[in-house]
A = this chain, B = another copy of it.
Amino acid sequence: MPILSQAEIAALNETASFNRWAGFTVVKAQDGEAILEMPWHPNCGQYAGHLHAGLVSALLDTACGFAAVTAAGLVVTSQMSVNFLAPAEGDSFRAEATVTKPGRRQVFAESRLFAIQADTSTLVATATAVMVPIEGKPDPKVQN
């Protein structure tokens, strides 16, 4: 599976309806690293009004996936473990991911989510992901 460029990954991001709805922007995607941002918006809250765990997870997973794509081509996530360190309260959010190990059969990555408010950036969650490269063209059967 060919490795994708940052422009191709930004285009891939736009093909996912949920990513568009949530406002994910690819800030960086190259050399085994990816940075993803989204602004807060009012439909993303859990019951106390912070960013919902589903969006925390979506940002962390997508950042891992895009980091993996720069190293191994298209992947599907098979496992994600998320630690929620603090309430995700901010004007915007930034997920930073790094590939830990690119393999032929599996790609490992980890990511961190920061909540940004005025001038402060707070680490609010961390994740690890196990992904599996998929063969051939973008496959309608891939999962993530």
Q: Which residues of A contact B (CB under 8 A)?
A: 12, 15-22, 42-50, 52-55, 57-59, 61-62, 76-88, 100-101, 103, 105-106, 108, 110, 123, 126, 128, 130, 132, 138-144
Q: Check if A83 sits within 8 Å of B44, measured CB to CB.
A: no
Question: Would you give 5 A-B contacts (Cβ < 8 Å), ordered by A?
Answer: A18-B43, A48-B143, A50-B143, A52-B144, A76-B84
How many copies are assembled?
4
Which of chain B's residues have a CB closer than 8 A to the CB of A16? Answer: 45-47, 52
Cα–Cα, bound, A91→B69 (Å):
29
What secondary structure prevails in chain A residues at the interface with B? mixed
Assess whether B105 is in contact with A132, with CB atoms less than 8 Å apart. yes
- B53 with A58: CB separation less than 8 A: yes
**Residues of B contacting A77 in the complex (Cβ-Cβ under 8 angstroms):** 53, 84
A143-B45 in contact (CB<8A): no
In the complex, what distance in Å separates the CA atom of A128 from the CA atom of B44? 23
Max chain B C-beta neighbours (<10 A), residue from A45, A55, A83, A140: A83
Given contacts A44-B17, A48-B140, A106-B78, contact A86 B101 (CB under 8 A): yes
A52 to B20, CA, bound (A): 12
Q: Please indicate the chain B residues that have their CB under 8 angstroms from the CB of A110 in the complex.
A: 126
Instruction: Give chain B residues whose Cβ lies under 8 Å from the Cβ of A108.
Output: 78, 83, 85, 126
Least Cβ–Cβ distance between A39 and chain B, in angstroms: 15
**B17, A83: Cβ atoms closer than 8 Å:** no
